[in-house]
Structure formats: structure tokens, C-alpha cells
Copies of this chain bind each other. A is one copy, B any other.
């Protein structure tokens, strides 16, 4: 079935002579070997292979975003690749179960050989973090040295260059800013949305006033709604938003935030459907990486308790900090705070619906 004339063997295609000859337990060979060291090596190698695959996917997604105008059919491609990355993360989290069959006592049989090798030194994982958008100043620093002190020569340079380049975060932000639907043919999204929010809050207040509540209950509830109103006002006010950005409370620009909100609210319009899937996939990736870090902390706790890691760190403490702190797309997750019920959602005028719909006329 092939047009090729040379025949390919599985063994060579996968370069298995190399891959299966790359396990060198330091505890020795044969009888003296610590049985579990093989597992330790192999699981880390599978992690690195999967990191390579994730970099391959994220890199290609970023490439597609780098074009000023994304071809519509590419958004489907992007969503599929992000979904693949998320499936990989599911496997990476799940296979920690294998490593957890190695007990503390097993680990101690070879742990002393490893110093100071440590997962900190995974160049690919650092690249991944930087490509997604993790900035050095946002990192939880460990042991007084910047993370890239682990690397030298080309590898260090590559990381430093990536720090300076566009990340998935910045590309996504620019793409959201370019989306041309915030102001369409007289439909000013932000204004319409603000009106809807106020209508909702007013209705909630009148509901409470009409309800059979104790005075203090009523007061509490109304206060809650007024808090809410302030929250919405702050978010919708571009100046306030920029102030929050300066103070590091939020990272996503005002315009990008509004576009993300629009996509979330009107996701059932054909042209917004795939962008919506994409935004969800990014939040999911953020969550899956956090889950991986979290389960990693648990694994370390089981294996080492409060022992110092091979890299000289109290690994558990460090990792625990990164679970939340290294999340990148919290602003997208927080769009949920701004959602309003479909019953308050401003109906799109027919001309706008047409614009967002398919060309095909039935």
C-alpha cells in the first residue's frame, strides 16, 4: 500500500536501539542493583517524551496564532491540538499511580546516588512553562537562585530567549484583542452587557424587598448584591482594570477580557463556537497542570515525608507553592464571575446574528 520502495522496520523507525539502551541505573547492575531504580528512570523518560510531544503541539498552536489573521479552519486545528495536550496531561497525572507503587524504603535503596539530579532540571518542562507564559518574576523562587541557573550554554540561552518571546498567553491576548465583534454595526457589546447586569441586579433587589424576610436578612442580602454591583463596575471600567493590571491582580488586558466575555456569552453563534472551545481548553490545561503539581506534592509526601529532596529542596514545600502560584490563565477562568443568566442576556439583532452565522443560505 506504500509508494516507498525501501521497507521500514518498527525497530528502526522508532530508533529503539537508542531508546531502550538509555537506562543506566546508578545503583549497579545485576544483584546489587536497586530493583526500583529502573522504574524511576523509565517513568521520567516517558515524562520527557510526553513533554516533547506537548512542546510540539504548543509550538504549532503558537505558530498558527502568530499569523495576524487566523484562517477560520485553523481554529478547529488549534482546538484539536489543545485537546490532545489535555489528554496527555490526563495520562501524566494518571501515571503517577505507577510511581506511587514505589515506596519510601524502595527509593532509599538508590536515592543517595542521584544527588543533586532533580526534576527541577527538566529543561523541557521549563520551556513549556515559559512558552505558556510563566514569567520569571511570577515564579516561586527556590533556594536563592533563578530557575535557569540549572542550565548552561545553548540550553540556558534557549530559555532566556523564550522568556523574551511571545508566549501562548500573549498570543491569545492579542488574538482576543483583534476579534472584531465588540462593536458591530451599532451593537456596543460592553454597553449592552452593562445594562443587562444592572437590570439583573435591580430585579434581584426588588425580589428581596418583596420577600418575607427579617430586616437583618434583607439587609445582608441587599448588601451582597451591592458588593456584586461594585465588582461588575470595577471590571467594566477600563481605568480600574488597568489599575488592577498594574497592581498585578489581573494580567489580561481590558479589551481581551471583554472579547473573552463576549465569546463565553454568545458561544452558540457559529463563528464563536470554536473560539469558545479554545478558551475552555486553555483553562483546562491550566487546571490539569495544577492537578499534576498537586498530585506530585502528594507523591513526594508519601515517598519522602518532610525529607529534603535530591536537589537540596524541601521539594514538597516548593511544589505546593507552585500549584496555585504558577497558574497562568486564571483571568480566563474568572470570566465565569461575569456570566449572567441567559434570561438577562441581550438578544442579538438579526443582522448581527447573520454576521456571526454561516454564509450558506438554506
Contact = CB atoms under 8 A, between A and B. Distances in A.
Interface of A: 1-5, 7-16, 18-24, 26, 35, 38-39, 41-46, 48-50, 52-53, 56, 60, 69, 72-73, 76-77, 80, 83-84, 87-88, 90-91, 94-95, 97-98, 101-105, 108-109, 111-124, 180, 203-204, 207-208, 210-213, 221, 224-225, 228, 264-265, 267-271, 273-274, 280, 283, 287, 290-291, 294-295, 298, 301-308, 310, 312, 333-343, 354-360, 362
Contacts of A280: 103
A270 B337 contact: no
A359 B358 contact: yes
The number of times this chain is found in the oligomer is: 4
A88 B91 CA distance: 11
Enumerate the 4 nearest inter-chain pairs by beta-carbon distance, A residue then B residue, closest first.
A305-B337, A2-B115, A305-B336, A10-B121
Contacts of A228: 1, 308
The dominant DSSP class at the A interface is helix
Given A90-B97, A291-B295, A10 B117 contact: yes
Given A2-B112, A104-B264, A109-B341, 13 more contacts: A1-B228, A2-B114, A3-B207, A5-B207, A5-B211, A15-B22, A18-B21, A20-B124, A84-B101, A270-B358, A271-B358, A271-B360, A287-B298
Nearest to A91: B95
A5 to B, nearest CB: 4
Contacts of A336: 104, 301-305, 307
B308 A7 contact: no
A155 B16 CA distance: 13
A16 B48 contact: yes
A113 B7 CA distance: 9
Contact of A358 (B69, B80, B120, B358): B358
A213 B193 CA distance: 66
A114 to B, nearest CB: 6
Nearest to A113: B4
A5 B209 CA distance: 10
A113 B6 CA distance: 9
B358 A14 contact: no
Contacts of A208: 3
A339 B355 CA distance: 33
Contact of A113 (B8, B72, B207): B8
Given A18-B22, A22-B18, A116-B7, A362 B109 contact: no
A59 to B, nearest CB: 10
A117 B13 contact: yes
Nearest to A344: B108
Contacts of A12: 117
A334 B303 CA distance: 9
B268 A73 contact: yes
Contacts of A72: 270, 357-358
B3 A112 contact: yes
Contacts of A77: 268
A321 B30 CA distance: 38
Contact of A119 (B10, B305, B354): B10
Contacts of A103: 280
B104 A8 contact: no
21 contacts: A1-B224, A8-B26, A14-B48, A16-B48, A18-B18, A18-B22, A20-B52, A20-B124, A38-B52, A39-B56, A42-B52, A73-B270, A76-B268, A84-B98, A87-B97, A104-B264, A104-B335, A109-B342, A270-B270, A273-B273, A356-B359
